[in-house]
Structures are given as C-alpha cells and as structure tokens.
Amino acid sequence: MCLKSVVSGFSPTSRGTMDAVGAPRAVPLPERVIEPPPGSDDRVTISPRLELDLGVVARAHRAFRDALPEAEVAYAVKANPHPEVLALLAEQGASVDLASIGELDACLLAGVPPARMSWGNPVKKAADVRAAVAAGVRRFTTDASADVDLLARLAPGAAITVRLGADDTGSATPFAGKFGVAPDEAAALLIRARDAGLRPHGLGFHPGSQQTDPDAWRRGIVAAARAVERFGQPVPELNVGGGFPTGHGTGPVPDLATCAAAIRGALATHAEVPGVGSWRPSLVAEPGRALVADAGVLVSEVVLVTERAGRRWVYLDVGRYQGLAETEGEMIVYRLRTPGHPPDAPRGPVVLAGPTCDGDDVLYRHADVRLALDLAAGDVVEILGAGAYTASYASVGFNGLPPLPTVIRRATHETPEETA
Ligand SMILES: Cc1ncc(COP(=O)(O)O)c(C=O)c1O
C-alpha cells in the first residue's frame, strides 16, 4: 500500500539554480504531493496520468546488472527523467547518459556524481559543452569532425567515444542514419581527437530502440572491431548502446540474457583484431526503455465512442501530444487493459484516437486493437508498459491540454528486498 502519491511535471522555461555557466536551464518543478482522501485506497483520480512504480524500476536495474555484470550501466535519461527515477538509480550506483543541459541539471539535482555522467548526444552546442565541463563531465560521444573540434576547444583532455552508424534493422524506432559514421571515418575521428588533445577512449553504437534482433549487437561489434583495426590500436571502451526491448503488444521479444549472449559472443569472436592484437574493451550499456517501460501504467479515460465509416472509433483523454509519441507510424503498439470490464467480455476491433483537434492524433488505425464492445465514455483504459518515452515526450500544452503528470508509487520500492 502506497503512503502517498507524488505528481510532478517539468517546466521547459523555469530557470534553475545553476545559471553560473551561462545557459538557460530547465529543471524539474517542485513536486506536488497529493494525499489520498481519508478512507479511500490510494488511487488518485486525475486522468490521464502515468503511474510509475519505483520498485519495478529498481528490479529492472538489478536484472540488467545481473544480465550484463561486466558493463557499466548508464541509464539513458531521455526515457524517463523523473527526479525520483534519477534519484533511485543514482542511489543504486547507475551512471547516466545525457543529451541536454536540462538532463544534466536533473541528474545533478538527483545526486549523480559527474564522474558517472557521459554526454551521449553527438549533436551539441558550445553552451552544452561549457555547461557539462563546468559541472565536471569528462566523457563525450561524437560522430563529426566539427564536433571533435568543438570538444577539443572547450573540453581539452576529455575522453571521447566515437559513435558508429549501426545497422538498426529489427528496431521498432530506428535511427535511420541520423547518427554515427562508418568504421574508416570513426578511426579518422579518433585520430583527429588524439591529435587535438582529446583522449580517444571508446567506440560505440546504438542498435536502435526496441531492437528485437539480438544480431544487431553483433553487427555493431563487427563494425567496432573494424574501426579498431583502422585505428591501429585497441580503444579501452566499447559502448553497446541501448535498444534492449520490452514486451509491448507486438509479440515476444528476446530477453536480456539473449542480448547479453550476443554481445559476449561477438566480443569473443573479435577479441583478436588483425594487425592490432588483443582487444578486450570494458563495456558500457545505455538502457533507457529496459529500465523504466514496465514500471509505468498510463491510466486514461474514454471520452467518446462512435461509429465512422463502419469502424468503431474510441477516443481517449490521452493521445500523441500527451505522451504517446511512440504511436507515430504505430511503431510501438501498447498493451491495453480495461479494468472495468471482465477479461472475457466480448471485444471488437477499434480505431484508437487521442482527444485533440489534430488529424495526426490517431494512435492505431492498422494495428489489431480490440476493446470491450460495451466500452463507453468515462471507462478507464490502462496503457501498459508505458514508463518510457511517454511523460518526457508530452507537449507543454497543445490544444490547452497539460503535459502528462506522473504519479509515483513507492510501495514496492520500500519493501526490504528492494532496498537490500
Ligand atoms: C545515445 C543513446 N543511448 C541510449 C538510448 C536509450 O535507448 P533505449 O531506450 O532503446 O534503451 C538512446 C535512445 O534514443 C540514445 O539515443
């Protein structure tokens, strides 16, 4: 039983306490604590809301460490930057992968030591690098010569990881060439970094989020071994990215042990690099989705059910603009639950849509989504596995609708086995 629920949001415009480095800062707003009414259970009635169970996050982090104990686990903050998530993972010794000054601030406030931070976004401004350096961050990922030059100027001596372009076939949300370079170019960037006074420390790749083919990690490691060969010496670190999948509504996914085995197998195959010799890099992994997705249930309410051109349309009070961005192109198909209806209630296909006046705000037209035939306005629809890439994607107020609030569940986290 949870003692209290905490609702919080983020303000992209509020100014934080760390202005000294000269950049506008985005920091979490103070939390609003909602006490449950006396005598009630602890469910709050705001809708939509993301209910996030910290116990599940703690377990997912432990499971990840157990599956890949040889890796430094650097949580990808973008998946869910809620202050409670960051504080929990910081306390459990996780490192973090940062993409912006806002994420840097959130991690500093959560108590993550700068030595456990790395700036994984290859696209950055001078102000980003200055803020990171001022905070004590010494590890950066890059994939372009202009960015190497920027880092050499503003972060001399920093450890540099060059990101390889990964073949992200099998990913539900592929990067499609947005990041990364071929092995030859990666080697050239490592050399450029070394010549410019940076530390050519690592190679990395990201196989694409919700990656369902473990072979994607092998392909990334093959590319990294080629880059080592071209560079002519073994880099000390390999970053195998995130991408570790969680169960959504589109069938079974490989478990962490299978992905870890693919990583270990490929590293063993490439432990000897032609012309270089032994290559046994230390590992970094940057899971985002795998640590938080299963901790989240997005609780929503049906606003309208109607018939259009022979199809049943169900409109929820949450949509593309309140956090369900990953339904774009029906990339992620969430599992749904309707607590007010027995599991064996007759169901039929629906088009599922969000509440805004925007034509894009349709979640699923093609996916086989079936909901109870007697579903009506006011009924609750729970969207499962929604702890990642939802609250952090919500718009600040499109159509006057507020960003998705998060309700933290601490109950499981506070049990002895979770804190042990
Ligand atoms: C650099 C980097 N690392 C890690 C992640 C996390 O990926 P995932 O949530 O699929 O584990 C992302 C996601 O976009 C990323 O861009």
> Would the pLDDT of 213 be above 60?
yes
Q: Coil, strand, or helix at residue 52?
A: strand
Mean pLDDT computed over 44-73:
95
Chain centroid, CA 151 distance in Å: 25
Q: How far is the CA of 241 from the centre of ligand 1 (A)?
A: 6
Burial of 33 per CB tally in 10 Å (0-12, 13-18, 19+): exposed
Q: Does residue 107 have an active-site annotation?
A: no
Question: pLDDT tier at 199 (50, 70, 90 boundaries)?
Answer: very high
Question: pLDDT tier at 350 (50, 70, 90 boundaries)?
Answer: very high
Mean pLDDT computed over 92-113:
98
How confident is the model at residue 8, as a pLDDT? 52
How confident is the model at residue 410, as a pLDDT? 78
Most informative mutation of 68, 72, 97, 203 for ligand 1 (most atoms within 8 A of CB): 97
Q: Let me know if domain 54-292 sits in CATH 3.40.50.620.
A: no
Nearest to 235 by CA among 305, 295, 160: 160
Domain range annotation of the chain: 54-292
Question: pLDDT tier at 419 (50, 70, 90 boundaries)?
Answer: very low
Burial of 255 per CB tally in 10 Å (0-12, 13-18, 19+): middle
Q: How far is the CA of 288 from the centre of ligand 1 (A)?
A: 6
Extract the tokens encoding 304. 């309208």
> Would the pLDDT of 130 be above 90?
yes
pTM, two decimals, is: 0.90
* Exposure on the CB side of residue 87, measured as CA atoms within 13 A: 10
Q: How far is the CA of 194 from the centre of ligand 1 (A)?
A: 26
Specify the length of the chain in residues. 420
Mean pLDDT computed over 9-38:
43
* Residue bearing the bigger pLDDT, 44 or 183: 183
How confident is the model at residue 176, as a pLDDT? 87
Burial 296-329 (b: 16+ CB within 10 A, else e): bbbbbbbbebeeeeeebbbbbbbbbbbbbbbbee
> Would the pLDDT of 19 be above 60?
no
Question: pLDDT tier at 383 (50, 70, 90 boundaries)?
Answer: very high
How confident is the model at residue 23, as a pLDDT? 42
Model confidence pLDDT, tens digit, residues 252-261: 899 999 999 9
> Would the pLDDT of 273 be above 70?
yes
Distance CA 258, CA 276 (A): 29
Contacts of 240 (CB under 8 A, 6+ apart): 71, 204, 205, 207, 217, 220, 221, 263, 283, 284, 285
Contacts of 403 (CB under 8 A, 6+ apart): 9, 10, 322, 323, 391, 394, 395, 396, 397
CB of 355 closer than 6 angstroms to any ligand 1 atom: no
**Ligand 1: which atom is nearest the Cα of residue 208?**
10
> Would the pLDDT of 107 be above 90?
yes
- What sections of 43-182 are H helices per DSSP? 54-67, 83-91, 101-110, 126-135, 145-154
Distance CA 284, CA 307 (A): 50
CB of 163 closer than 6 angstroms to any ligand 1 atom: no
Quote the DSSP letter at residue 78.
G
Pairing of strands 362-364, 406-409: unpaired
How confident is the model at residue 343, as a pLDDT? 86
* Residue bearing the bigger pLDDT, 340 or 133: 133
Extract the tokens encoding 219. 């392909």
> Would the pLDDT of 184 be above 90?
yes
Question: pLDDT tier at 6 (50, 70, 90 boundaries)?
Answer: very low
